[in-house]
Amino acid sequence: MQNEYDIVVVGSINMDLIFETNKMPGIGETIEGQAFHFLQGGKGANQAIAAAKLGNKVAMIGCVGSVIFGSEALKNFEKYGVNHTHVHRVDDYTGVALVTIQQTKKKDNSIITVPGANKKITIEMIDKAKSIIKKAKAVLLQLETPMEVVEYVIDLCDSFNVPVILNPSPYQTLRSDLMSKVTFIIPNEIEIRQMFPNHSIELSCAQYPNKLIVTRGSMGAVYHDMVEFKIIDGIKVSVADTTGAGDSFLAAFVSEYIKTNQIESSVHFANICAGLSIAKIGAQESSPTLKDVSKYINNTKN
């Protein structure tokens, strides 16, 4: 059976309102910012477009609003070659995110999301997309859509024997049997502590070897390979904006894993892509292409 799509992403689609500021405002404080941007976002859309930019054939499943920002989101998928046949227009507003970037050396950000149409995705919509899910090389999920839909997709992928990668962000309590059904679960350092509040990262990874991969920002990522705790370092770059770095990591990891079936090399590739993504403003615009990655690798060899 020929795969119709390399990667199917089920998830959120947002418009990001990005503010750049010299400092974060305190409670009740009004400050003047330095720059403002309207950019496409949402963890699901970010991951879908990042995967497409790395040469994969990608399909997106999700919802956008019937008025403001919905048409822009669909045009953006077309721009990057992501199939949006199963992105539904619903009677709501497209999800939005307020991103505040502090203009310090680390360029740290804080984010508030309002889900809007993202909460309108249904199990019936997933059923209409069963054919592409069944044929996918991998399915990628996050938690910015209803949990019952996420759980249904995981159960579906388990029945179809399709690899499923879960990015548990923003963190919610997971159904007890999901860990056995997902191929990989990839949280960041905050989310892993929410998942396992009484365990160290090392112990948590040891409990789920070759399944649990923890991203650590500029420090790269870690996992346990059944023999030892593996630390895969990140790359050093000048930081412009850390928004979307985790999404670039997820997309790059899945992209490489479906080609190689190798965890360590896939994590290394994902670290490079995440690192390159933070050198530019925005989540989708900043994710690298295969050409960008090849150029970086060639330059580091010299």
Q: What angle do CA 242, 246, 54 make, to 5 degrees?
A: 105
Strand order in the sheet with 221-224: 214-215, 221-224, 229-232
> Which of the following is catalytic: 92, 155, 247, 292?
247
Which secondary structure element, helix H or strand E, spans residue 21, and what is its range? strand 14-21
Q: At what angle do helices 245-260 and 263-277 cross, to 10 degrees?
A: 150
Nearest to 281 by CA among 39, 80, 51: 39
C-alpha–C-alpha distance, residues 41 and 282, integer Å:
8
C-alpha–C-alpha distance, residues 75 and 84, integer Å:
9
247 noted as active-site residue: yes
In the block, tokens 């370092």 appear at 233
Instruction: Enter the tokens of residue 205.
Output: 């990874």
What is the full DSSP assignment across 39-90? Answer: EEE-HHHHHHHHHHHTT--EEEEEEEESSTTHHHHHHHHHHHT-EEEEEEEE
Q: What is the dihedral of CA 239, 240, 242, 246, to 10 degrees?
A: -80
What is the full DSSP assignment across 87-123? Answer: EEEESSPPEEEEEEEE-STT--EEEEEE-GGGGG--H
Please check whether residue 111 is in contact with residue 14, taking contact to mean a CB–CB distance below 8 angstroms. no
Neighbours of 227 (CB within 10 A): 7
Q: Which residues are catalytic?
A: 247
